Amino acid sequence: MVYKGCDIGSAKPNKETLRKYPHHLVNFIEPESIFTVSDFYKQSIKLINSIHERKKIPVFVGGTMMYFKSLLNGLDDLPERDNKIRENLEKIRLRKGVKELHLMLIDKDINYAKQVNELDEQRIIRALEVIEITGKSFSSQIGLTSEAALTNRFNVHQYGIFEDNRSLIHSRIEQRLKQIIKSGLLDEVSSLLKKYDISEYHPIRKSVNYKQAIARINNEYDDSEFFDRALFATRQLAKRQTTWMRSWQDLKKYDVSSKHKIKEEVESLSSAL
């Protein structure tokens, strides 16, 4: 949602909702730029401090677990991304597959390689990138940050809408995807590609809905396969989010039918402060 113009594919709140309930970090940067976890962390800390100065409570909403984890635990002092190194790694991935990159990671840092899924290209590429820049194993450079952890500085309350009924989740995902496509996903993506110079290695090109829409625009498959691939990718994303939430510490979980209780608890918490 941080990227301007990426409205339909990200299911961004509509203009009326954003006017009624102002959001931060929505439509924050142009699609030609890249918004990293580090950017999210730095901007979030600024916002937290600014909101506290106004005697207000910052509320973070979303589903990108890795970003939230970085904010809660703090970030390790790792180098910025290097596009040249990433381009070389992407070429290997395209030529030989992500498993080849995982084999490279095993050779360079077996400890971290054991922790990461062999198909998790984002984390594998980041680890190989850091190793090449620093000359040190990735595992030796992570998990060192504690003082910057949000939980060490503030009282943090965490709530999650968690649904165990997989058939219900799949049904909601399918209906949502149909609406996204009907609302003009392909037109939106086509416009973005014409308006902006979005690099081949930009996260937008790999994100759910946009990746499949770009392939459809390039005639890599027909409408039916486009829908099936986008549906599968969204279901896989939901599955990963569920896995994250199952293991998330200090997270109060609510099912879809009782999500109103989150609102009641937050209001109760706010009135007590």
Q: Are residues 123 and 163 in the same domain?
A: no
pLDDT of residue 143: 74
- Report d(CA 25, CA 40) in Å as an integer: 9
Burial class (CB in 10 A: 0-12, 13-18, 19+), 189: buried
The pLDDT of residue 146 is 57
Task: Point out which residues pair with 254 in neighbouring strands.
Answer: 161
Do residue 93 and residue 182 come from a single domain?
Answer: no
Residues 99 and 185 in one domain: no
In a shared domain, residues 107 and 172: no
The model carries a pTM of 0.79
pLDDT on residue 76 = 79
Q: Are residues 212 and 184 in the same domain?
A: yes
Classify 243 as helix, strand or coil.
helix
Using an 8 Å Cβ cutoff, are 29 and 40 in contact?
no
pLDDT at res. 166 = 86
Using alpha carbons only, give the angle 48, 239, 67 rounded to the nearest 5 degrees. 20
| Together in a domain, 125 and 184 | no
Q: Are residues 227 and 168 in the same domain?
A: yes
CATH of the domain at 132: 1.10.20.140
The span from the CA of 143 to the CA of 172, in Å, is 37
Q: What is the pLDDT of residue 20?
A: 93
3-state secondary structure 158-179: EEEECCCCHHHHHHHHHHHHHH
3-state secondary structure of 29: strand
Domain co-membership, 135 together with 163: no
Task: Confirm whether 72 is domain-assigned.
Answer: no
End-of-domain residue from the set 141, 175, 191 = 141
Question: Which pLDDT score, from 0 to 100, does residue 193 have?
Answer: 96
Is 13 a domain residue? no
Does the residue 233 lie in any domain?
yes
Q: Where are the beta strands (DSSP E) in 120-161?
A: 158-161
Query: pLDDT below 70 — which residues of the chain?
Result: 144-148, 270-273
Are both 126 and 187 inside the same structural domain?
Answer: no
Contact 51, 57 (CB under 8 A): yes
Domain that holds residue 188: 157-273
Q: What pLDDT does 69 receive?
A: 84
- The CATH number given to whatever domain includes residue 203 is 1.10.287.890
Note whether 172 and 129 are same-domain residues. Answer: no
- Tell me the pLDDT tens digit for each residue of 84-98: 999 899 999 999 999
